[in-house]
Amino acid sequence: MNEKEAILHRHSVRAYSGRKIEEEKLNDLRAFTACINREGNLSFQLVLDEEKAFSSLTAHYGRFRGVRNYIALVAGKDRDEDVGYYGEKLVLHLTELGLSSCWVALTFKKIKDAYRVNSGEKLYLVVAFGYSDNTGSAHKSRAREEVMSAQNPPAWFLDGIDAALLAPTAMNQQKFRFSLTDSNKVKAECSFAPYSRIDLGIAKYHFEVGAGKENFTFAE
Ligand SMILES: Cc1cc2nc3c(=O)[nH]c(=O)nc-3n(C[C@H](O)[C@H](O)[C@H](O)COP(=O)(O)O)c2cc1C
């Protein structure tokens, strides 16, 4: 599976089976996470065989079952968009490895000793992951026209929009917008809502994979 196929396959999954993740895949994930941390100057950490974060009542209300692995998305302050962008890069890699996942903002308990948060850093969210017997289902989506503005958009731009519309967003809000401001310049914006800057980073990553990096640059 490549990244484009992973975008089509990925859905949030909240119930995990007890199947152990092979050491080979864990090593791949460790290396991939280290690479992302270097590239984005982040402190994402794999937390394995830790069942306390999702064993409380809150997690049950959140419909989470059998979570024992997660990625702690730790980074410096005001890095929301980067946390979304690089976090989704990891999520798609999990999908490529045949693992299910779900971004989680609320329904988990912070377990102090499970990961490191240095001074000047914070835990933004976690991504639960593991094997599952179900693959989730497609979310309800806004129409292309609601999230884009462009006159005579080229095919690569529409491919980017379609990929962005498949991205996970908090409460499935999809409050992002992509505008074609020049033949190869794209402006990405979001309206003000909880987690909307993280969602924007996630959607930008999907857009980039769908549209192809070689076709455009994001406008500042
Ligand atoms: C930033 C963010 C935070 C999220 N927080 C939660 C959460 O706390 N609990 C939960 O069950 N799902 C959470 N989700 C998952 C979304 O509900 C899910 O991505 C959305 O409904 C779209 O569904 P899909 O991921 O299957 O495409 C979160 C997603 C994102 C991107």
Domain boundaries, given as residue ranges, for the chain = 3-130, 144-218
Residue 105 near ligand 1, beta carbon < 6 Å: yes
Return the pLDDT at 63: 86
pLDDT digits (tens, 9 = 90+) for 150-181: 999 999 999 999 999 999 999 999 999 999 99
The CATH code of the domain at 3-130 is 3.40.109.10
Q: How many residues does the chain have?
A: 220
Band the pLDDT of 209: cuts 50, 70, 90.
very high
Residue 15 near ligand 1, beta carbon < 6 Å: no
Return the pLDDT at 90: 98
Index of the ligand 1 atom closest to the CA of residue 198: 1
Residue 103 near ligand 1, beta carbon < 6 Å: yes
Would you say residue 59 has pLDDT above 70?
no
As a whole number of Å, the end-to-end CA separation of the chain is 32
Residue burial 201-218, b: 16+ Cβ < 10 Å; e: rest? bbbbbbbbbbbeeebbee
Q: How far is the CA of 12 from the centre of ligand 1 (A)?
A: 7
- pLDDT more than 70, % of the chain: 98
**Residue (of 216, 169, 166, 219) closest to 189 by Cα position:** 219
Same fold, 3-130 and 144-218: yes
Span 78-82, mean pLDDT? Answer: 98
Q: How far is the CA of 3 from the centre of ligand 1 (A)?
A: 20
The CATH code of the domain at 144-218 is 3.40.109.30
Span 13-42, mean pLDDT? Answer: 97
Would you say residue 88 has pLDDT above 70?
yes
Token reading at 207: 């857009």
